[in-house]
Amino acid sequence: MPSCRASCPRRSFEPVLETVWVERLDEAASREVRALLLAARAVDGRPEVSEGGPLPFGDGLHLLGRADGQLVGYAQLDTTGDSFGRQVAELIVDPGHRRRGFGTELTRTLIAKADRKLRIWSHGDHPAAARIAEREGLARVRELLIMHVYVEGADWPEPTLPQGVSLRTFVTGQDEQEVIDVNARAFEWHPEQGSLTLEELRATENEDWFDPAGFFLACAPAGAGGTDTADGRVIGFHWTKVHPADPDSFGGEPVGEVYVVGVDPAAHGGGLGRALTLAGLRHLRERGLRQVILYVESDNAPALAVYSRLGFTRYAVDVQYAA
């Protein structure tokens, strides 16, 4: 695809940013992008990227911004969009080339390419992103909180399940469809989680971190706990995750995550969400982990209340801006 020169006025001694959109990153571009993301992670703590393995951003279009031949900025535009059809973008400027207007130029190029429902992430609520958003008329429309708790001293009692509900762990090859069905009902409102597919769940089972022993399912007989589910059907789940030790995060220790807690709306009101959360937290503690994190929408008051009572406090925030 042809390249284009950004039109923002610049001082003569500053390099001009040249941008190009590509549908796929070739091997050389992938190395450049990985190096840029690793440099950003060393300064910002984000994104989650390693020396090996896949890049953290998925399919779509890739925007490469170069100055004097060097990659100084990168954006990825998910053209498929979230559960509500909104295109979503990630944008990162190399730490050594910030405060030169490159972020603004990349943002304008991104907005010009995307549709009118574009959402752009600012991981860690970066002040520079807020300044660019204000200048470009972008609205702050979503806050995703990262909450954190130290395991030592946390009061996590044995979970109390609603009457008739039993707890077991996930069985690979058996429980996928029921989990997908409950997930779709529980997260119908969520931009990402509600669109989880059977194929995506099965693909996750091949990830190194996947552990069915940390994937808890709540099951109930017909009518138990006010539900209308059939005998033994899944009515909720808590999927935990363990992140390997990273020298740039959480003191270089492995960290557990309350990855997803989902409860069928028909089973709300009986304390099942809290019971599932406790089951997963106690499992992570038994694995010897000293810290646990979770992600939760800032306007999800019921979930925030549950997590706060379990000792979680606000650690960081990711923000979405809308064009």
The verdict on whether residue 11 carries a ligand-binding annotation is no
Dihedral through CA 101, CA 107, CA 108, CA 112, nearest 10? Answer: 160
Q: Is 99 annotated as a binding residue?
A: yes
- Does 165 have pLDDT greater than 60? yes
pTM of the model as a whole: 0.84
Above 90 in pLDDT, residue 293?
yes
> Known binder of ligand: residue 91?
yes
Given a cut of 60, is residue 13 above it in pLDDT? no
Residue 13 assigned as binding residue: no
Confidence grade of residue 223 (pLDDT, cut at 50, 70, 90) = low
Q: Which amino acid is at 144?
A: L
Categorize the per-residue pLDDT at 231 as very low, low, confident or very high, splitting at 50, 70 and 90.
low
20 is in an annotated binding site: no
- Give the chain's mean pLDDT: 90
- What are the boundaries of each domain within the chain? 4-137, 147-316
Question: Are 4-137 and 147-316 in the same CATH fold?
Answer: yes
- 273 carries a ligand binding annotation: yes
Query: Is 295 annotated as a binding-site member?
Result: yes
Residue 262 is labelled as binding a ligand: yes
C-alpha–C-alpha distance, residues 307 and 267, integer Å: 19
Backbone phi and psi for residue 95, each to the nearest 5 degrees, phi listed first: -55, -30
257 annotated as belonging to a binding site for a ligand:
yes
In the predicted structure, residue 1 carries a pLDDT above the cut 70: no
205 is in an annotated binding site: no
Please give the Cα distance from 170 to 111 (Å, whole number): 42
Question: Is 319 one of the annotated binding-site residues?
Answer: no
Q: What is the pLDDT at residue 109?
A: 97
Q: What is the CATH number of domain 4-137?
A: 3.40.630.30
User: How do residues 239-261 score in pLDDT, each as one tens digit?
Assistant: 999 999 888 788 889 999 999 99
93 is in an annotated binding site: yes
Percent of the chain with pLDDT over 70: 92
Per DSSP, the residues of 62-129 read EEEEEETTEEEEEEEEESS-STTS--EEEEEE-GGG-SSSHHHHHHHHHHHHS-TT-EEEEET--HHH
pLDDT digits (tens, 9 = 90+) for 181-218: 999 999 999 888 988 999 999 999 999 999 999 999 99
> Is 192 labeled as ligand-binding?
yes
Q: Does residue 81 carry a pLDDT above 90?
A: no
**74 within 8 A of 62, measured Cβ to Cβ:** yes
| Percentage of the chain modeled with pLDDT above 90 | 76
Whether residue 216 is annotated as binding a ligand: the answer is: no
Answer yes or no: is 117 a known binding residue: no
- Residue 237 labelled as part of a binding site: no
315 marked as binding residue: no
Q: Known binder of ligand: residue 287?
A: no
100 a known binding residue?
A: yes
Tens-digit pLDDT profile for residues 275-287: 999 999 999 999 9
Residue of 201 and 230 predicted with greater confidence: 201
141 Cα distance to chain centroid: 16
What's the Cα-to-Cα distance from 29 to each of 32, 36, 43, 50, 126, rounded to whole Å?
Answer: 5, 11, 22, 16, 25
Q: Which pLDDT belongs to residue 207?
A: 92
- Assigned superfamily of 147-316: Gcn5-related N-acetyltransferase (GNAT) (3.40.630.30)
Mean pLDDT in residue range 10-24: 81
| N residues, the chain | 323
Left if phi > 0, otherwise alpha if psi is -120 to 50, otherwise beta: which for 233? beta
CA 271 to chain centre: 26
